Chain A
Amino acid sequence: MKKHHRLNDISKNATNQLDEINLDELIPLPPPYDKTDELPAVKTLTDEQKQRLVDNLDGFSALALPQPKDKEEEKKYIKQFISGLNKLLSKQNNWTFLQPLLLSLEYCAHCQTCSDACPVYIASGKNDIYRPTYRSEIFRRLIDKYTKRGGKIMTKLKGTDIDLNWATLSRLYELAYRCNLCRRCAQTCPLALDNALIIRELRKLFSQELGWAPHELHEKGTVLQLEVGSPTGMKPAVAIDNLKFLDEDFSESLGFKIETPWDKEGADILLLHSAGDILSFPESVMAFTILCNAAGINWTLSSDGPGYDGVNYGLFYDDVQLAKIAVRHAQIAKKLKVKKIVIGECGHEHKALITVADRLLTGDLNIPRQDVMTFLEGIVFGGKIKFDLSKNNFPVTLHDPCNIVRNLGIVEPQRRILRYLCPQFREMTPHGVDNYCCGGGGGLSVISGVNFTDWKVNVSGRMKLKQILEAFADEPGPGAKKYVAAPCLNCKLQLRDIFKYYRAWEKSGIMCGGIAELIVNAMVDIKKPYINWNDV
């Protein structure tokens, strides 16, 4: 329900929901998705879950936070949070992001320009709790009260006093995971302040100081990756076996030998996929094998875990994990003596390895890293492969992964590929650096929490669905098969969830996949269609 929120409401009534999402208050979708009563009911927490878990924000739980045992436990976390706040603001403990954090905290003019740029805020029908400034301002006021000298008196006098209690703490924790870290706010801010960074630092505080993080990002994410090689749980031998199976399967169906190289020492390129593609979008992984081989590239995969999985969830919530994984990736590349790492179709992997980890990868860990877009562009226009554009003669639009496009400024190479290979390519509106997040950014795509998927497909993914439908408005029905090129696994997973929820394949004939598959689909030497419209 659209309430007007006072900032310190967050500290009141720990067991009541602060707000609730009403599907009719969200921005409308184009037909045939405009009738909310034709959609699956939104899952809510069961009574049993409400007993055990905290459910005091918006009716959704991304984090399955257990109810505290007693007041002692609450006090312990509050104390840890304050200790964490102090560390976050100190150079010794936060040398990584201190400067942009301080600038963003210090200079906000409260103009709310960022809110109007935020896909979650807009899609929710302008619900105050999703304003980028809502979270940041509460955070700012807690910092003023609990870390600055005379803070308690000063905030009371200024009327900016917010009590840091269990209600505030538990709600802030969930709120930290209502942001896609897409940086649309930062890009729009007239002072270039970064609300997403503030939220990401808040997540870091929770993780590094309280040990609170979504298990999908931590225990079953970075921890699992460092332990066995991949958050998917795929060990090296299983990864190799899976690729062997795929090589044989695709060789059989396409009629020529396809072989993925492993552990080739001294190769020019180490290709670093997001390993989940092996399991969920094998056409993407095989497309890279086909293209690299056809283009005569001297490349390899690595079976040295996590050398076959380029994801780095630490980017979303924890500097320690981020550093460990990034360093491992570089060490593996160095050991294999490859000339460079090429990042696969994974958005956050680009940002983690190309820029964020830059300060860690010094000396001989400073191995060149190349993005997937210029890599694929080199293959398409390199002259070694012949294409027949008529094979891609169906409507195609491009979803821009935030981390590659807005965050790294890699905008045109993928467009040159699609304009060349897809006669019916059309842009979404807006696109490029002004794109909307798929709704799965910031790690949200892999977090299912208790009923979090329903929030993602209804709220954070709403603007994107609207854009996709508008881009295909010329041929909306299921008779025309339409392809959303989404060169990022997390985006594909989120789009897959959205399309499944809204039955977009059945109602509109829309599916998603990567760019590599489109390229292979247009190859003259591949006699059968590569993109399989039937397996949706």
Chain B
Amino acid sequence: MAKIELAGLMLEVDEHGYMQEPDKWTEDIARAYGLKEGVTELTPDHWKALNYLRSYYLANGICPMIRRLIKETGFTLKQLYDLFPEGPANSACKWAGVPKATGCV
């Protein structure tokens, strides 16, 4: 298990940088993740997506499917890639402190 420092906290992450202790997440951690990918400021649009991702994960134990994310937030896939450099799965889920998706996805 790897460790990285984000927003002043030492966090356990997997080899791709996803948090392994979801309950340690804070909004500052999301900002720190964003900064690592060159996004210097999280706009309300970012938060709309991140908040939806995180609340769906906490309720259901997995990330929402892309189609759901698109419908709920009103963003197109292109807009999501504009907001999150590596896309909804590889950036947004990570910044939201949600574990990496497993299985055939």
Using a CB–CB cutoff of 8 Å, the interface residues on chain A facing chain B are: 48-49, 52, 64, 216, 220-221, 224-225, 228, 230-235, 238, 241-242, 245-246, 249, 274-280, 282, 311, 346, 445-446, 448-450, 489-490, 493, 535
Contact = CB atoms under 8 A, between A and B. Distances in A.
A471 to B, nearest CB: 25
Given A52-B2, A234-B62, A249-B71, A490 B15 contact: no
Interface string B59-87: 01111011110010000010000000000
Contact of A445 (B16, B63, B77, B104): B104
Nearest to B4: A48
13 contacts: A49-B15, A220-B102, A221-B103, A232-B101, A232-B103, A238-B60, A276-B105, A278-B65, A311-B103, A446-B104, A489-B104, A490-B104, A493-B104
Contacts of A450: 15
A465 B67 CA distance: 28
Contacts of A249: 67, 71
Nearest to A452: B15
* Count class of interface residues, chain B: 10 to 19
B101 to A, nearest CB: 7
A450 B15 CA distance: 6
Contacts of A490: 104
A232 B67 contact: no
Given A52-B2, A235-B61, A282-B67, A449 B103 contact: no
B61 A233 contact: yes
Contacts of B103: 220-221, 224-225, 230-233, 275-276, 311, 446
A319 to B, nearest CB: 21
A52 B2 CA distance: 8
Contacts of A346: 104
Nearest to A232: B103
Nearest to A52: B2
A232 B15 CA distance: 18
Nearest to B16: A448
Contacts of B104: 231-232, 274-277, 280, 311, 346, 445-446, 489-490, 493
Contacts of B65: 242, 278-280, 282
A278 B60 CA distance: 15
Given A52-B2, A249-B71, A216 B102 contact: yes
Residue of B16, B61, B103, B104 ringed by the most chain A CB atoms within 10 A: B104
Nearest to A445: B104
A221 B15 contact: no
A532 to B, nearest CB: 10
Nearest to B77: A535
Nearest to A451: B15
A378 to B, nearest CB: 26
A425 to B, nearest CB: 26
A246 B67 contact: yes
Contacts of B16: 448
B19 to A, nearest CB: 15
6 shortest A-B CB distances, which residue pairs? A276-B104, A231-B103, A232-B103, A220-B102, A233-B62, A279-B65
Contacts of B101: 232-233, 279
A224 B67 contact: no
Contact of A449 (B15, B63, B102, B105): B15
Contacts of B102: 216, 220-221, 224, 231-233, 446
Contacts of A221: 102-103
A228 B62 CA distance: 12
Contacts of A246: 67
A391 to B, nearest CB: 23
B70 to A, nearest CB: 9
Contacts of A242: 65, 68
A352 B66 CA distance: 29
Interface in B1-36: 2, 15-16
Contacts of B63: 279
